[in-house]
Structure 1
Amino acid sequence: MNLLETLHQFPALATIPDEQLQWLIDRSEEVSYPKEAVLYKPNEPVDYLLLLLDGRIRIDSGANGPSDELITYGPYSFLGVLPFSRMTSIPNRIVAETPARLLQLHRDDLRGLAQNCYELTEALVHQMTTRVRDYTKLTQQNEKMASLGRLSAGLAHELNNPVAAVVRSVDTLKTHLRATPEAFKAVMNLQLTAEQVDCVTVVFFKKIDQQLAADTHQLTLLERTTLEDDITDWLDDHGVDDSMDLAGPLVDYSFTVDDLEWILEKIGDENLAGVANWLVNNLVAEKLVFDISEASKRISTLINSIKNYTHMDRGVGKQQIPLAEGIRNTLTLLAHKVKSKHIALTLTIADDLPAVCGWPGELNQVWTNLIDNAIDALPDGGKLEINSQPDRRSDGVDFVLTKVIDNGTGIPDDIRDKIFEPFFTTKEIGKGTGLGLDIVQGIIKHHNGSIKVQSEPGHTEFSVCLPTQ
């Protein structure tokens, strides 16, 4: 098969007149590459239109070789510069995945191509628009998956603690309940009147209610140790066995020696040991149930946050969006990163913040990228401020202004104008795609909003303006 017949095998060139394809052949060079040969390194100038005649070509990030593959082209594909393309280089590698044979045309001949080969130029321009659309969709999907990966890691980390607390408390509760029959025997041997029982139960529920209402004073280690010693000594003086085991739970619920003296006065010495053990037994059970309840609530909060973040149970169309909910859900899912760097977080959201009309999933991507970038830019112990307030432009348009502010090192002046460009990133290889802020800007434009950045050492501020209508 001669070269002209081979070019007609390209689906896009099947109907192109022979004389136009011959014009291309006469000005092109046929080249071959062995397997894994690098045609272009990252950011190296790309000066040729490439027509893949045989073999497969891979585009990868260049960081970890084939494992970082972005896209693969088979025979009869177009790569490199196309007519009217502004491409000068690409940030990735172009590699021959298998032995490959290509036809290459230098960019200097593209002007002549456009002047002399209308149908061929039209076909190649169509390929360019298709490539831009497909590659944009691919890279945006990769960025979404990267964001999802970060959130998944955070969610797993956040869920681990309450799940572990539930498992631990359940195991302890099972062990504790096995001892209940012995405690029941002791209770059955008590000689208490109905009035005395009421006195004990009143104190019991009063202490529980105080604990639930968080009215109790948080004891220092010294205060707690002193109180435990006082209760242990008091119980020993009154002949109660295992006084050290009883003192801890009693202190947890703010029992004092005065409380025990009052109970003793109501029930008498002969009932003290049994009542003390009954109190502690039930206090321990209450504490374990409370711990399970709090951990379960934390799990529920996290699940609701991810559910609201992804809007799993809602339509995908445009709707009225409470921005505060999206920002808070995003912070919940990124809480592990904030904690791991000991960041001081300040969240200020106006009570009268109006809703914004838009697409919830898209705006959540905005908050995720901006907040995640700010966290990455902060040192250990840094400060992060998020402020969202209603405002009005001079032309009378109402909008919501949201600021994400960090006290990191700032963005250098020489790259500040580049941060919204696709594929530009200041992160090390493998930690950033360079698409986060490009996607953010695109989403905000989709909502007829704007984004601005101000930065100097110790203060970087991203301001997002979103109209309410």
Structure 2
Amino acid sequence: MQQITTEWLKGIEVLKDVPDEQLQWLIDNSSHYILNDGDYLFEKDKPINGTHFIVSGKVRLYITQNGVRRELVNMLSLDITGYLPYSRGKIAQVNGDAVGDTQIMTFPVEKVMDMIKNYFELTQALVSVMSNRVRESTALLQQNEKMMALGKLSAGLAHELNNPAASIVRNASSLKQHLLAQPEMFAKLVAVQMDVNKVGTVKEKIKHILENKGKVKLTLRQRNQQEDELADWFDKHGIENGYNMAENFVEQGFEANDLGAIFQCMDQRTASPVFGWIHDTLVSEKMVADIHDASQRIADLISSIKTFTHMDRGADRQFAHVDTGIRNTLTMLNHKIKAGNITVSEEYDTNLPEVKMLVGELNQVWTNLIDNAIDAMEEHGKGHLHIKTRQDRDFAEITITDDGPGIPPDVQNRIFDPFFTTKEMGKGTGMGLEVVQRIIKQQHQGSIKVNSRPGHTQFIVCIPINN
């Protein structure tokens, strides 16, 4: 076992200016021992027994979720950890075990007050360790929570992107096959001799029908009834392939009277080629429209992702609309919202000014709060999510309300504690609301409150407009 001297301790950056007599006092009042591989230096939810100096070897920090160990940070070597002066954390929030044989020097927590009273430089050095640890752990927790949020969103985004992408592939393939049949239809059409004036009339009637398409919404029963009527009309007038064309004509807004008006502009000999041409044109138009809609959906999703993650902006505060981030968050979580059979109502104050904010961090807030609400409503198989924004003097107020089972009264005062979660094992990290509170309070000088009872849980976030 390595002998610990004052010179050795001065090799630690934060202790290099501490007087030798104080370092010797630290050595004399500490315990020196070896941890074997896998031995705990500290355990989650158990008291921390002192300030630990890792002399040699390494200590790994981790939490256990659903029986699986998950490391939180890189392994620590030649470092100081455990209880530190003025720290309120006397209970371990994570596990720490030795990797290989690890030499430890532990200064007992019972002697910390003596150190504070009598050894200023040593106390000051260890307080600086605490400050650095808080800053590093804060960055770590926030980064870890961002990764958790990304994990929550990735599956839903893959599903949301897959649907329009598959639609584009499917429609492009169908359109290709459809266009291959056009030469034959063209041959039939050029053989038709129609009066030029009647051609114009047919064109105007089709244009009028398409422009008024969708003004009347049909039920499934009404739709089936109209398809049967059009199929009968085609059959009665000797139009080829009428049964197959009826569905598309109904979808494009045609009725039997419209077909009759077009039929009056031609004779029996020209009817089949003309109606076939109209049908093929409508099919092509529909496929192109579907491809356009699917492409636009992908473009909108990518735009939402870009805005949500704030990829095209710096990390500085800037003025932005709160509702933009909330809408993008709802887009990101749309798959989970649909899967949970959840209805969403949005009530945005259109007069709310832009708020000076860290956009990416606030998007993380909305993600956590909305995702938690969705999870809470999951057990009922349905739910209602209400989001409202308004201006309250110099603040923007955002409320997110769900009709889930609520937060038990005995734990409501703990929900913002690090690593505390009411979710089942493996589903929540317990870091989400702690990160939310830190972003709102420390980074935006705002406030967050919760009101909860069975059937009604409401988080109220207030942020200064000009922070």
TM norm. shorter chain > 0.5 = yes
Cα shift readout 1:238-281 (whole Å, capped 9, x = no counterpart): 32232222222112112222222222211111101101110111
Which of 103, 121, 124 is equivalent to 2:123? Answer: 121
TM-score (normalizing by structure 2): 0.93
Which of 205, 208, 218 is equivalent to 1:206? Answer: 208
For the structure 1 residues 356 and 9, does the alpha-carbon distance in structure 2 shift closer, same or farther, using more than 3 Å as the test?
closer
3-state DSSP class of the match of 1:137?
helix
CA distance in 1, matches of 2:24, 2:427: 46
CA distance in 2, matches of 1:256, 1:246: 13
CA distance in 2, matches of 1:63, 1:94: 15
- How far the C-alpha of 1:233 sits from its partner, in A, is 2.3
The question of whether the paired residues in 1 share the 8 Å contact of 2:66 and 2:425 is answered with no
Match of 2:253 in 1: 254
Match of 1:388 in 2: 389
Unaligned segments of structure 1, at least 5 residues: 393-397
Match of 2:444 in 1: 447
The question of whether the paired residues in 2 share the 8 Å contact of 1:419 and 1:425 is answered with yes
- How far the C-alpha of 1:95 sits from its partner, in A, is 1.1
CA distance in 1, matches of 2:377, 2:66: 27
CA distance in 1, matches of 2:111, 2:364: 42
Q: Which amino acid in structure 2 is aligned with residue 384 of structure 1?
A: L
Match of 1:364 in 2: 363
CA distance in 2, matches of 1:17, 1:46: 27
Q: Which amino acid in structure 2 is aligned with residue 400 of structure 1?
A: A
After the TM superposition, which residues 264-303 of structure 1 pair with which residues of structure 2 at under 5 Å, given as runs?
264-303=263-302
CA distance in 2, matches of 1:361, 1:75: 33
Cα shift readout 1:181-206 (whole Å, capped 9, x = no counterpart): 11111101111121121122223222
3-state DSSP class of the match of 2:420?
coil
CA distance in 2, matches of 1:65, 1:454: 33
Match of 1:395 in 2: none
CA distance in 2, matches of 1:101, 1:246: 82
Match of 2:350 in 1: 351
CA distance in 2, matches of 1:373, 1:66: 22
After the TM superposition, which residues 170-185 of structure 1 pair with which residues of structure 2 at under 5 Å, given as runs?
170-185=172-187
- How far the C-alpha of 1:66 sits from its partner, in A, is 8.0
Aligned-CA RMSD value: 2.1
Q: Which amino acid in structure 2 is aligned with residue 35 of structure 1?
A: D
Cα shift readout 1:65-116 (whole Å, capped 9, x = no counterpart): 8851112344321121122222211221111122212112211112223344
CA distance in 2, matches of 1:316, 1:138: 17
Q: Which amino acid in structure 1 is aligned with residue 43 of structure 2?
A: K
Cα shift readout 1:115-162 (whole Å, capped 9, x = no counterpart): 443333232222221111111111111112222332333322221211
User: 2:188 matched to 1:186?
Assistant: yes
3-state DSSP class of the match of 2:72?
strand
For the structure 1 residues 234 and 194, does the alpha-carbon distance in structure 2 shift closer, same or farther, using more than 3 Å as the test?
same
- How far the C-alpha of 1:9 sits from its partner, in A, is 4.1
Match of 1:61 in 2: 63
- Mean alpha-carbon deviation: is it higher for 449-458 or for 182-191? 449-458
3-state DSSP class of the match of 1:12?
helix
After the TM superposition, which residues 44-59 of structure 1 pair with which residues of structure 2 at under 5 Å, given as runs?
44-59=46-61
Match of 1:401 in 2: 397
Q: Which amino acid in structure 1 is aligned with residue 103 of structure 2?
A: R
- How far the C-alpha of 1:369 sits from its partner, in A, is 1.8
CA distance in 2, matches of 1:403, 1:143: 22
Cα shift readout 1:422-463 (whole Å, capped 9, x = no counterpart): 222222333323232222222222333222211111111111
Cα shift readout 1:211-243 (whole Å, capped 9, x = no counterpart): 3xx31x232332222222222222223322322
CA distance in 2, matches of 1:232, 1:300: 39
Q: Which amino acid in structure 1 is aligned with residue 350 of structure 2?
A: D
The question of whether the paired residues in 2 share the 8 Å contact of 1:166 and 1:295 is answered with yes
For the structure 1 residues 134 and 159, does the alpha-carbon distance in structure 2 shift closer, same or farther, using more than 3 Å as the test?
same
Match of 2:91 in 1: 89
The question of whether the paired residues in 2 share the 8 Å contact of 1:42 and 1:62 is answered with no
- Mean alpha-carbon deviation: is it higher for 404-413 or for 23-32? 23-32
CA distance in 1, matches of 2:103, 2:60: 14
Q: Which amino acid in structure 2 is aligned with residue 13 of structure 1?
A: L
CA distance in 1, matches of 2:326, 2:76: 43
3-state DSSP class of the match of 2:265?
helix
CA distance in 1, matches of 2:68, 2:371: 28
Percent identity of paired positions between Structure 1 and Structure 2: 43
User: 2:416 matched to 1:420?
Assistant: yes
CA distance in 2, matches of 1:294, 1:197: 31
- How far the C-alpha of 1:374 sits from its partner, in A, is 1.2
Q: Which amino acid in structure 1 is aligned with residue 12 of structure 2?
A: F
Match of 1:330 in 2: 329
CA distance in 1, matches of 2:72, 2:41: 16
TM-score (normalizing by structure 1): 0.92
3-state DSSP class of the match of 1:71?
coil
For the structure 1 residues 33 and 149, does the alpha-carbon distance in structure 2 shift closer, same or farther, using more than 3 Å as the test?
same
CA distance in 1, matches of 2:371, 2:338: 13
CA distance in 2, matches of 1:120, 1:20: 7
For the structure 1 residues 465 and 16, does the alpha-carbon distance in structure 2 shift closer, same or farther, using more than 3 Å as the test?
closer
The question of whether the paired residues in 1 share the 8 Å contact of 2:47 and 2:90 is answered with yes
